[in-house]
Amino acid sequence: MYKAHDSLMRSSRRLKQPINAIIPGGNYCHFNFVDGAFVKITGDVNEAYLVKFIDSRYNKVIHQAEISNNSWVRTARQYFTPWTIKVYRIKDHSLLFTHHYNCQQQRVYIALESKALGDTLAWLHSLEAFRLKHDCQLICSTFMNALFKTQYPEIQFVEPGETVHNLYAMYRIGWFYLENGEIDLNKNVYNFRLQALGETAADILGLPYLPVRPRIQAADLGKPMTDDYVCIAVHSTAQAKYWNNPTGWTEVVQYLLQRGYKVILLSKEGTHYMGNQVPEGVILVPPGPITTIINYLRHAKLFIGIGSGLSWLSWVVGCKTCLISGFSYPYTEVDDLIRIAPNTTSCSGCFNRFALDAGDWHWCPEHKDTPRQYECTRSITGDRVITAIAPYLN
């Protein structure tokens, strides 16, 4: 689902603790934990070695291999593991070298592989939690660094794809698939479709999941208009994510206008997109950076959206958020939302049951081109949304 960006980070130079060692016999052992646990033996002494990579939590050998001098081995597993590395000389079975994972004060790089706003906001907190737990020198790349740089001064932010040297460890956060479409369980710990979105990062980094709002950089520019207003976002990246009830948005917008609220559309796609039309009476947010949208959300009475990054942004800002979604099961997002889900007789949760075909705008894995297509959100009426948001309006 997410295409990894290329970061060529293979250095294992000396840090505060050496990550190179002379092993008995005169050869050298180099190791790091960049995209898995890695060992390379160099030197002129012809020798054969057995390298074991052990998960120290269970004292279980996850991978082992026989190598000779001037060759290397790496584990397939890439998510956080408290590794123990052991190197044996094969001819006499003697243990020559042991290293226990410890990234304290070491340089660790974590790359967020997704460009999506929602993913980035859901995962960012786990990076800071990792830094605090391990007391490491954390380097991070996201596709939205400007949102976070000033708020996390202890993290070094770099651009995706930028080469970073002298690394002890590196982890990539994302949803990863094998060529056959199955989940790559060497990069993801569990089936991410069965979890909250934010758990992906926590699992890969070996942390407990906490749905904590990340800190973002955006100055409060004051209320952008004198009237009270409600923000909405109607567009997304696939029709299955939309609220597909044909009269739903019109009913809600008319209700808000009759109550005296302005209705501000935050979706950058505008009033018409992929056959979806925004009701009359809606005001488009002025063009500008994402900080403009954040400022509108900061002073809004309410936000109403669908399964898109703007719903996550509203939650992060602290705006009361109403999420209309049949695309995902309720556990996918955080709990402190007004969540409008389909009735129990409707098909729903395709996001959690199938791999999204991002190239098919009309993706509906079980009911495409049938009368039941998008029945999940077609079954959600305007009245249901109005009833849910009414207590939060004056």
Question: Any idea which residues carry the catalytic annotation?
Answer: 119
- Distance CA(317)–CA(25), nearest Å, equals 59
Residue ranges of alpha helices (H) inside 135-265 are: 199-204, 248-258
Q: Is 273 exposed, middle or buried (0-12, 13-18, 19+ CB in 10 A)?
A: middle
Q: Which residues pair with 133 in a beta bridge?
A: none
* Cβ-Cβ contacts under 8 Å for 132 (sequence gap 6 or more): none
Q: Cα 164 from chain centroid?
A: 21
* Helices 290-298 & 309-317 angle (0-180, nearest 10): 50
Helix, strand, or coil (residue 35): coil
- Distance CA(295)–CA(3), nearest Å, equals 31
